[in-house]
Structure 1
Amino acid sequence: MSEAKKDRKKFKLPHLMWILMGLILIMSALTYIIPAGEFAVLEDGKIDGTSFNYVGTQSPVSPLRALFLMQDGLVGSAVIIMTVLVGGASIGVILATGAIDNFLSWATFKLQDKGQNTLIVIMMVMMVYLGGFGGGDFLIALVPMGLVFARKLKLDPIMAIAVTTFATMVGFGTGPNKLLIPQNLMDVPVYSGFGMRFIIMNVFMVIAIVYVMWYVNKIKKDPSKSAMGDTEWLTSINESGEAVIKESKLTLRDIIIMIIFFGQYVVIVYYSIFLAPNALATYNFLVAVQTVSAIASGLIAKMSWDKIGDEYAKGLAGMAFVGFIIGMARVVSLVMAEGKILHTIVYNMTKPLMSLDRGISAIGLTGIIAIINPIIPSASSKAAILMPIIKPITEVLGMNPQIAVQAFQFGDGFTNIISPALGWTVGSCAAAGVPFQKWFKWAMPIVIIMILISFVMIYFLNMIGWMGY
């Protein structure tokens, strides 16, 4: 019996491509089943939530027709896809300069004698800001540095993930920089609400730091209370001696590249809020600024033109599949629209919510996305799939689209920390030598706390009528 259990394959989610293909085919089948219906559309293009009618005849979309819509989905998402590709390429070049790694190593070495608590707090602040402005699964590379950090302070391997991946995920999940796609799909000005989201990121950063410091103090008093479930990690540290945080010099080049890296976002936000005549102008400006920043950083780092080109191409290639998935996700909405079932789905979903307070509806939206998130962990893919549905829902409910964007961010932001389907999470566990179930046990309480706090925040933002402008 035990042999059979060993041979039994573990459940594994299908590849994201097959999830999307499956959704397209499911929606195609539903166009034969769900009654076609339409809301009346107002002069400004918004849905009139008070006027819905079934059209009386079906408009089925065959599986073959659905596949023919793939090209339309990719072309229709071209602006977003190209922006995502260039963003990945730009970050790829800046990472290749080594400036970010050098800065983190230098800061850790300089602060190692400032006291354990001070060092942990400063380390987490740096990581949250790095995640907030340049997060991604490539930050798994920071975990080995976290291991040295944890061993130096005689802390368990879970802390290696806590001060690196956990902190960067908090910044990535709550910061103002990852909402390009959902804001575009909701027809909300890009980077609008930057100030409020920056404040929100810092609030959650403080919450994360408090939780980590509570855990550190707990295991310092009694190492057996480690979420690792044993004290073998402590024995290993004592036997191997104290880990050494190596000295790293921070050059003027590194400083200039860091200024360029963070400064580009200040320039982009300023342009998008105060100067851009329309959304397309913002995207054009963003692509130009990120490309110039990448080239300038490469030249300052004394990379050859060929090296800059190679790293730019690698970053571009790394985001190519993400771009394809964004286009595929648009096909899902095209099938629903052509089959005239999108409005029918929205109508039946929103009927129970019409009598509820809009703040409660926003909380419900956040919770639904949080539940879906572990299944489709990619934020860009999830936004491309859900926003075409969320947008008419918010119009029917009379909800501010900026609130819907924030509900998406909260729903997407926290369950990533415990998602077994996200390479960033499981890869970090592997790099730190922490079994995923141990990490889950440690992280689950803070994830629940953050989700509950996000419910309060989204209700408050709705109550004050936050527009994000």
Structure 2
Amino acid sequence: MSVENKTKEQRKNKSWQMPDTYVIIFFVVLFAALLTYLIPVGQFETKDITYVYKGVEKSRTVPIPESFKILTDDNGNSVKNGIKWFEPGGGVGIVNYAFEGLVSGSKWGSAVGVVAFILVIGGAFGIILRTGAVETGMMAMIKKTKGAESAIIPILFALFSIGGAVFGMGEEAIPFAMILVPILIGMGYDGITGIMITYTATQIGFATSWMNPFSVAIAQGVSGVPVMSGAGVRFSLWVFFTTIGIIYTWRYAKKIKKDPTLSLSYESDKQYREDFKNKENIEVKFEMGHKLILLTVFLGMIWVIYGVMKYEYYLPEIATQFFVMGIVSGVIGIIFNLNNMRLNDIASSFREGAKDLLGAALVVGMAKGIILVLGGSDPTTPTVLNTVLHGIGNTIGSLPAAVSAWFMFVFQSVFNFFVVSGSGQAALTMPLMAPLADLVGVTRQVAVLAFQLGDGFTNLIVPTSGCLMGMLAVARLDWSKWAKFQLKFQGILFVLSSIVMILAVMIGYN
């Protein structure tokens, strides 16, 4: 490249830079604040819906669509709760969004529960990685699988997709990515391939699941649809979209294997790549201590999966399971003197591991701040979000059947930016979408499908997803670069999902 061309390229790079995730969230907060001055606040009354899942009666509190009303003052004028710039006394103002977002929720969900989960997972794997067992096992595996690396991609993708479909695997994929991303980069692929095989696969499974208790069961139960009905069509969709994901990932990985510099994560993969090169020609001694730690991780993963499927373990239990894995691995590392490990190294490596995922944890709190600025997601509290939800519902209800079904899908896709919890989004939106389906002449099963596809696939790109940001932190990849890569794949998923929604209406999917 000539000096003149280099100068032009440098000017181009300086003139435009994709905003950081924190910057994007800040401007979304400002936009949300503006909406509080433009849109009146509204509220719903609620009721408890019960449904049966696996022979057990469960319940959810949901809004009553026809109970919606705009809050008015003494003169009968609609009320707009324009948010203040700063709010003392623990209130929510525009500049309070980061702190209030981080301390909101409970240990069972966003934001404080997810933040704690991410930090504990990071710390636990910091200990495991400090022992050197993972990289030693990685080197041994790479040497044994030379020439057959490409077979790993479809197998792992399908397995993670099954995890997403069967028990809603999402956050649980973060520790797997901590192991697989370095391995795949060492094999000549990149961090993006690692995220596609782990996180993308789980969300494809999540979006097309026929039995996920955290999305399908709740959405169907809330909508008055027999729980786990329509499984045949959903299973076919899972096979179809999983196959699409495997082909797309395999073709991309093959291209990167041929020329790694084509990867958007080429720079961020540098440290992993250099670590591999430095150890490539070193004789690997895969000793008993290494094997015991990998066995601990393997058994720990089985414990997690069993707990989620059998007892519906969630953030507190899963975080504790990984914490135990980390401590046990650290003790084994000390006993077998792996990487000259000492007692204090357990503490320091836990701290370093948590620090690596701190950025992702902060995003979770900041993203929750957007909802707080809009007034929160409680249907009984007068908020902008409730008014928007009701208004969009009325708009969709006035459209033809096929168009309404498609708009339900689009609405769920957009709404997922604000409420990334699958169960939370189902409880908020399905009580409105299910009656609307009756009104426009589509089945409630179609409305549930719109929720699934819209919620699941956009999890792959929304920067408000703590799980996605945790994955990107593991791969050391900026959200902007991931989004640039994801846009094409999101386009494919959007077009195919749109076709699926129209076909579902045409066949009267029930």
TM bracket (short chain): 0.5 to 0.7
Q: Give the aligned partner of residue 25 of structure 1.
A: 30
Hey, what's the Cα distance between the residues in 2 that align with 1:76 and 1:29? 22
Residue 365 of structure 2 is aligned with which of 310, 324, 327? 327
CA shift at 1:300, angstroms? 1.8
SS in 1 for 2:72: coil
SS at match of 1:31: helix
The residue identity in structure 1 corresponding to 2:459 is: D
- Shift, 1:175, TM fit: 6.2
Residue 396 of structure 2: aligned partner: 353
Distance 2:333 2:367 in 1: 38
Match of residue 289 from structure 1: 321
| 2:330 maps to 1:298 | yes
One of 74, 85, 95 as aligned partner of 2:119: 85
Go from structure 1 to structure 2 and tell me whether the alpha carbon gap of 1:5 and 1:73 turns closer, same or farther (over 3 Å shift).
closer
Q: 1:101 to 1:411 in 2, by over 3 A?
A: same
User: Mean Cα displacement is larger for which, 401-410 or 63-72?
Assistant: 401-410
Residue equivalent to 1:316: 354
Shift, 1:456, TM fit: 7.2
Per the TM alignment, residue 201 of structure 1 is displaced from its structure 2 partner at its CA by: 8.4
2-structure distance, mates of 1:98, 1:205: 33
Q: Which residue of 1 aligns with 2:458?
A: 411
After alignment, is 121-130 or 102-111 more displaced?
121-130
2-structure distance, mates of 1:284, 1:307: 25
How many Å separate the matches in 2 of 1:163 and 1:37?
A: 44
Matched, 1:120 2:150: yes
**Aligned equivalents of 2:365 and 2:495: distance in 1?**
33
Whole-angstrom distance in 2 between the partners of 1:426 and 1:271 = 27
- Kindly state the Cα deviation for residue 363 of structure 1 after the two structures are TM-superposed: 3.7
Q: Deviations 1:222-260 (Å, cap 9, x if unpaired)?
A: x99x989xxxxxxxxxxxxxxx78764443433333333
TM-fit CA distance, 1:121: 0.5
Shift of 1:406: 6.1
The answer to whether the Cα contact below 8 Å between 2:41 and 2:387 also exists between their aligned partners in 1 is yes
| Alignment-derived partner of residue 20 in structure 2 | 15
Question: Can you list the C-alpha shifts for 1:413-460, whole angstroms capped at 9, x where unaligned?
Answer: 3799xx9xx96799679xxxxxx89x979x877665555556678999
CA deviations 1:160-182 (Å, max 9, x no partner) are 56765543454464467xx9xx9
Aligned residue identity for 1:31: T
Out of 197, 200, 208, the position equivalent to 1:167 is: 197
Please name the residue that 1:63 is paired with.
85
Which structure 1 segments of 5+ residues have no match? 148-158, 229-243, 373-380, 430-435
Q: In structure 2, the residue corresponding to 1:42 is in which secondary structure?
A: strand
1:246-281, CA deviations, whole angstroms, 9 ceiling, x for partnerless residues?
Answer: 7644434333333332433432343344346xxxx7
**Distance of aligned partners of 1:210 and 1:53 in 2 relative to their CA distance in 1, 3 Å threshold:** closer
> Matched residues in 2 for 1:175 and 1:245: separation?
39
AA of the residue aligned to 1:100: V
Contact 1:47 1:395 in 2 (8 A): yes
Where does residue 104 of structure 2 map in the other structure?
A: 76
Q: Cα–Cα, structure 1 residues 207 and 92, in superposed 2: closer, same or farther, change >3 Å?
A: farther
How much identity, in percent, do the aligned residues show?
Answer: 16
SS class of match (1:35): coil
Shift of 1:411: 1.9
1:383 counterpart SS class:
coil
Amino acid at match of 2:323: T
Displacement of 1:396 after TM fit? 1.2
Unaligned runs of 5+ in 2: 50-60, 74-78, 108-112, 161-171, 220-226, 264-279, 335-340, 376-380, 435-443
Deviation, 1:207, is: 4.5
- 2:214 & 2:284 partners in 1: Cα distance? 40
Contact 1:31–1:339 (Cα < 8 Å) also in 2: no
| Residue of structure 2 in register with 1:267 after alignment | 303
Whole-Å separation in 2 of the counterparts to 1:26 and 1:162: 31
Q: 2-side partners of 1:310 and 1:444: how far apart?
A: 39
The 3 A distance-change label for structure 1 pair 298 and 173 is farther
Q: Distance in 2 between matches of 1:78 and 1:407?
A: 26
Residue-by-residue CA offset, 1:105-129 (whole Å, 9 max, x unaligned):
22221232xxx4x442136645886
Q: Which residue of 2 aligns with 1:377?
A: none
1:145 to 182, 186, 211: 186
AA partner of residue 286 (structure 1): I
Query: CA–CA distance in 2 between the matches of 1:333 and 1:160?
Result: 34
Q: Does 1:342 align with 2:385?
A: yes
Alignment-derived partner of residue 431 in structure 2 = 395
Distance across 1 between alignment mates of 2:415 and 2:97: 26
3-state secondary structure, aligned to 1:348: helix
Instruction: Pick closer, same or farther for the CA change 1:110–1:7 going to 2, 3 Å.
Output: closer
Q: Distance in 2 between matches of 1:292 and 1:425?
A: 20
| Contact 2:43–2:71, Cα closer than 8 Å, also in 1 | yes
Q: Distance between the aligned counterparts of 1:336 and 1:264, measured in 2?
A: 40
CA distance change for structure 1 residues 201 and 107 in 2, over 3 Å: closer, same or farther? farther
Are the counterparts in 2 of residues 128 and 169 from structure 1 also a CA contact under 8 Å? Answer: no
Distance in 1 of aligned mates of 2:36 and 2:180: 42
RMSD: 5.3
The yes-or-no answer on 1:383 pairing with 2:388 is: no
For residue 64 of structure 1, give the secondary structure of its aligned residue in structure 2: coil
Q: Give the stretch that moved more between structures: 96-105 or 197-206.
A: 197-206
In structure 2, how many angstroms separate the alpha carbons of the residues matched to 1:452 and 1:458?
10
1:364 aligns with 2:406: no
Aligned mates of 1:15, 1:216 — CA distance in 2: 26
SS in structure 2 at match of 1:32:
helix
SS of residue paired to 2:345: helix
Task: Determine helix, strand or coil for the equivalent of 2:44.
Answer: strand
Q: Which has the higher helix share?
A: 1
Instruction: From the superposition, tell whether residues 133 and 14 of structure 1 become closer, same or farther in structure 2 (CA, over 3 Å).
Output: closer
Q: Report deviation, 1:142.
A: 4.2
Question: Does the Cα contact within 8 Å between 1:96 and 1:311 map onto a contact in 2?
Answer: yes
- 1:291 CA displacement: 1.1
Q: Which residue of 2 aligns with 1:432?
A: none
Distance 1:160 1:72 in 2: 36
Aligned to 1:255: 291
Matched positions, count: 398
1:109-160, Cα deviation, whole Å (9 max, x unpaired)? 1232xxx4x442136645886894635588654465133xxxxxxxxxxx55
Provide, for residues 36-78 of structure 1, a one-character-per-residue CA deviation record: whole Å limited to 9, x for no partner.
2222322563111233222234242212133356654333234
CA distance in 2, matches of 1:349, 1:363: 12
**What TM-score results when the alignment is normalised by the length of structure 1?**
0.64
CA contact (8 A) 2:45 2:64 kept: yes
* Partner Cα separation in structure 2 for residue 341 and residue 330 of structure 1: 15
Alpha carbons 1:346, 1:389 under 8 Å: kept: no
Alignment of 1:435-454 (within 5 A): 448-449=491-492
